[in-house]
Chain A
Amino acid sequence: MIALENISLRQGSFELSGVNLRLAAGEYGVLMGRSGCGKTTILEAICGLRSIENGSIRLADVEVARLPPAERGVGYVPQDRALFPTMIVREQLAFALVLRKQPQTQIAERVDELAELLGITNLLDRAPDKLSGGEAQRVALGRALAHRPAVLCLDEPLAALDEELHEEMCRLLEHVHRETGVTVLHITHSPSEAKRLAGCHFRMEKGKVTREEKL
């Protein structure tokens, strides 16, 4: 579950205040808005990458506004995916688990499980620069899901993909959502993409977030 209450933040001349957003546990939320309206900023605030001046952020019933990103239990997939260039796919998927000092066998199990979920079992030993756009997106998703976060934040996950991959990725996201039951916040600037995706929709305009009724 994600609950933002009265969030205000400032970044240079850009300012947001009184932002509210509520997403129930296990829901798939789509946050829509024009480029530059502050969608990514909201996402970064949830992940703890941007400090907020006021308000509260609760993830899975825990107040996280003062916690470091590591302790918030979020999975973050940035728009450029940012796969670590020096690690093979297997290492990327294991990264969060190695940090948590899980036993080797458990890590290997989880990596295999994720690879199967995302259909990347044959890519596990590849370097990230040898992946296509769609493959890189799957790996980034896997890396974000490895530590079983309660919340998954996706920043324009479909933006750089061509038409064909677009549909494939939509189905994959739905599949992942169904299988893991993770609460997803997906941001996009494309109304058609939002329409394609199920779940509850939010629109961001003039610094405010409003929930849209299902059409």
Chain B
Amino acid sequence: MSGPAQPKYRVASDKPFLIGLGVLAGSYLLIIGAMVLADLVFLDYGDQPILGNELVQQGRYTEGEVPVRVERGRKYQYRPGKNEVGLKHGGQLLTGKIFFKAIADEVRLQPRIPNVPITASLRPEAKVIAIALTNHIATLTTDQSHGLLWGEFIRVNDAGKSWDGVHEITDTTTNQLSIALSETTIVPKTLQLSKPNPLVQALRSRDIQFSIMLSLISCTITTLLSIWVAVPIGYLMSRFEFRGKPLIDTLLDIPIVLPPLVVGLSLLILFRYVPDWLSDAVVYKWPAVVLAQFMVACAFAVRTMRVTFDQIPQRYEQVALTLGCNRQQAFWRVIMPQAKGGLLAAATLAWARALGEFGPILVFAGATRQKTEVLPTSAFLELQAGRTEGMLAVSLIMIGAAVIVFILARTLGMKRIFA
């Protein structure tokens, strides 16, 4: 029987598969990019005005517009809430966050829906009305309460040499603030005050400067320690077979699988059992920061080094042995030069892990300013103080540090490849 011709064998198109791959990869990359970008654009990089007390009364909208008295000629910052259409001002409707100069005696909030809470904000700019200088301390009096705190920074403009620039506030009252000036006896008639952007504030703050330094130093010590430990362990686990190896393999992974907070707690409890002089020197001091970072970072470095050594065939060592090496010489002359890439990867990973370590440090080293404060601790303290901008500024510093280290590692890695 001669049947119909066999249908030609057809294979389904590759397009859906490739598009699927692209979409999945693309959406993840998009989230990563958007995440970092959001941090970057959220911050207001310009200087902010010094604002006085809130003028909008708390309450609910009843019927229609809510009038607010303003002073003609003064500048005001309007920030709409959820229930306002905008702010009516001299025949104009202002929407969105805006800093404007009043041209009337009254502005009116326009509610979206009646009988809901008022959430808009209208604050006048605080102007400097008196300047005094005694013993290098300048005291500025404002016509509104300025809301600034001791330890914050302000920028002075249009006041001349040694006045202009960013200064730390050394003292405040409701309407006055003091800054320290050196080498000037000239008192300007007027000056402009503004709040520098959060990044400048963070970089100028002594607490955060300390935490940047502590972070950089502790991460570097941690990385060196991790490499020092990870190389021998990785080599041992890669090259030697011995009884109990699976058990040790599991132990090495414990810091990776354990919740970070538990690592800190376990360290804290462990240090109850060591001699007093040792626990006094470590717990709640900077060595605790390093130890907490090390416990987690080193586990990642060990993993990386083990994979690195696993990928280098034993054959190289064997040849080196027949050529006249002992094991140590074979390791240093033949294996380590090949492991450079992996070493760099392990170091970068350990450094980045250490930089981001927070939970164990909080538990084991505490969060004392200028003592055990590292960058993640700073971010946490800023958040607790309600300063989102400050937290973001600290985050940006961490992103910056991480990016620099990664670029450095990549360039060093490249050099090795092209050499």
A residues whose Cβ falls under 8 Å from a Cβ of B: 44, 47-49, 68-70, 72, 74-76, 78, 80, 82, 84-87, 95-96, 99-100, 143-144, 146-147
Kindly report which residue of chain B lies nearest to residue A82, judged by CB atoms: B315
B residues whose Cβ falls under 8 Å from a Cβ of A: 313, 315-316, 318-326, 329, 333-334, 337-338, 340
Say how far A70's CB is from chain B's closest CB, in angstroms.
5
Q: Which of B318, B322, B326, B334 has the most CB of A within 10 A?
A: B322
Given the known inter-chain contacts A82-B316, A85-B338, A86-B337, please indicate yes or no for A99 contacting B324, CB distance below 8 A.
yes
The 4 closest A-B pairs by CB, nearest first: A86-B337, A69-B321, A76-B322, A82-B315
20 intermolecular pairs with C-beta atoms under 8 Å apart? A44-B318, A68-B326, A69-B318, A69-B321, A69-B322, A70-B321, A70-B322, A70-B323, A70-B324, A74-B322, A76-B318, A76-B319, A82-B315, A84-B319, A84-B338, A86-B338, A87-B337, A96-B323, A99-B323, A144-B322
Instruction: Verify B322–A49 contact, CB threshold 8 A.
Output: yes
Q: In whole angstroms, how far apart are the Cα atoms of A100 and B329 in the complex?
A: 12
Q: In whole angstroms, how far apart are the Cα atoms of A53 and B319 in the complex?
A: 22
Given the known inter-chain contacts A78-B318, A82-B313, A82-B316, please indicate yes or no for A70 contacting B325, CB distance below 8 A.
yes
Q: Note all chain B residues with C-beta closer than 8 A to A69.
A: 318, 321-322
Q: In whole angstroms, how far apart are the Cα atoms of A74 and B323 in the complex?
A: 8
Kindly report which residue of chain B lies nearest to residue A140, judged by CB atoms: B319
Say how far A99's CB is from chain B's closest CB, in angstroms.
4
Say how far A194's CB is from chain B's closest CB, in angstroms.
24
Q: Note all chain B residues with C-beta closer than 8 A to A49.
A: 318, 321-322
Say how far A107's CB is from chain B's closest CB, in angstroms.
13
Residue from A80, A86, A87, A96 in contact with B324 in the complex, judged by beta carbons closer than 8 Å: A96
Q: In whole angstroms, how far apart are the Cα atoms of A68 and B322 in the complex?
A: 8
Extra inter-chain contacts (9) besides given A48-B322, A68-B326, A78-B315, CB under 8 Å: A47-B318, A47-B322, A69-B322, A76-B318, A80-B315, A82-B313, A84-B316, A95-B333, A146-B323
Q: Note all chain A residues with C-beta closer than 8 A to B318.
A: 44, 47, 49, 69, 76, 78, 82
